[in-house]
Amino acid sequence: MLQRQLAMVMDLNKCVGCHTCSLACKQLWTGDEGREHMWWNTVNTMPGRGTPRDWEGLGGGFDAQGQARAGRIPRRGEFGEAWEFNHREVFFGGRGRDVQLRVQGEAPQWGPNWDEDQGGGEYPNSFYFYLPRICNHCTHPACLEACPRRAIFKRQEDGIVLVDEDRCKGYRFCMEACPYKKIYFNAERGVANKCILCLPRVEKGVATACARQCPGRVRFFGFRDDEGSAVYRLVERWKVAVPLHPEYGTGPNVFYIPPLAPAALNERGEFDPRRSRIPEDYLRSLFGQAGLDALATLAAEMKKTRAGESSELIETLVSIDWSDMFGGFDRDPSTIRWVKS
């Protein structure tokens, strides 16, 4: 019986696509052999094909009746390899400007940020925004349900979804079943690997590395039922933080504040207040109708603050004091004596 659930809210209006989150995660968790190609945190430009390539078309999750949908395992090249670069030649080769940084060996066909900053729409209404993604630590995890070894489990005390490497035999049914394609295969150890929601940090009262290191202050963290937390206010009270692709049926616990956009320009170059630069149909395809409702709430609260009134919602989103974002997980990691196991 699940007792509590940790959750993250990402405000897409603040993400600048700097990838600090991805690097913070890589530095901490996926530097060792077998994990070189893994990016448990990715940041893709939307509209875009994403990581792994075209992941939204790879199936998995559950249909409206709760039945498992067929999926397929992403190929390694669809995630992108851990490329080798000619760093030594460029930095220590003594050839000055005659040599450029390039991938060694076979030319890459895809990678985590392959279509970065391309976006969509027709000029002058072209647009893009960034979409950071981690495992959603779902309430109804398709990965867990698909594993015949019961190697994936959800912790009762905080809802974190983990892989038990001692039980995992590397069958990869989880990779097939996860509709967000957020599980990687570690060929070195023959097991599945995924985001652990920075469990060792969280257990000591420290927010996840991807949240704490984010210079854009995009990520809120905390228990969903903690009424004092920003997560609770954004998800439960104001309902402006919504899951990505709720129709996948897994009940994600990562939520997004959808991106605001200016009005579209008409053929005379004037703003058309009836149309948004980011088409509503596109936003609905990502976040459902709840995403559009969230934007309407945001717009109404912004109007209030412009008129000089206060707004709990806008103050929560601005978070002048960074520690307000982390639902009590604001301990300074440098004060902890970390012991390597």
Residues at the contact surface with ligand SF4, assessed by CB under 6 A: 15-21, 24-25, 29, 40-41, 43, 130, 132, 134-138, 141-143, 161, 178, 180, 182-183, 194-198, 208-210, 214-216, 218, 250
Instruction: Tell the smallest beta-carbon distance from residue 183 to ligand SF4 (Å).
Output: 5
Q: Tell me: cis bond preceding 47? Omega within 30 of 0 counts.
A: yes
Closer Cβ to ligand SF4, 195 or 241, answer by number: 195
Cβ 236 vs Cβ 253: under 8 Å: no
Closer Cβ to ligand SF4, 131 or 264, answer by number: 131
CA 215 → CA 27, 75, 212, 322, distances in Å? 16, 32, 8, 11
Instruction: Tell the smallest beta-carbon distance from residue 99 to ligand SF4 (Å).
Output: 30
Instruction: Tell the smallest beta-carbon distance from residue 337 to ligand SF4 (Å).
Output: 20
Measure the CA–CA gap between 58 and 71, rounded to whole angstroms. Answer: 6
Q: What's the distance, CA 155 to chain centroid?
A: 20
Instruction: Tell the smallest beta-carbon distance from residue 8 to ligand SF4 (Å).
Output: 8
List CB contacts of 158: < 8 A, sequence separation 6 or more. 4, 5, 6, 197, 202, 223
List CB contacts of 222: < 8 A, sequence separation 6 or more. 6, 7, 229, 230, 231, 232, 326, 327, 328, 329
Closer Cβ to ligand SF4, 86 or 139, answer by number: 139
Cβ 52 vs Cβ 114: under 8 Å: no
Q: Which of 327, 300, 323, 326 is nearest to 313 (CA)?
A: 300
Instruction: Tell the smallest beta-carbon distance from residue 257 to ligand SF4 (Å).
Output: 12
Instruction: Tell the smallest beta-carbon distance from residue 251 to ligand SF4 (Å).
Output: 8
First to last CA, the chain: 29
Closer Cβ to ligand SF4, 172 or 264, answer by number: 172
Closer Cβ to ligand SF4, 232 or 248, answer by number: 248
Closer Cβ to ligand SF4, 254 or 264, answer by number: 254
Measure the CA–CA gap between 331 and 324, rounded to whole angstroms. Answer: 12
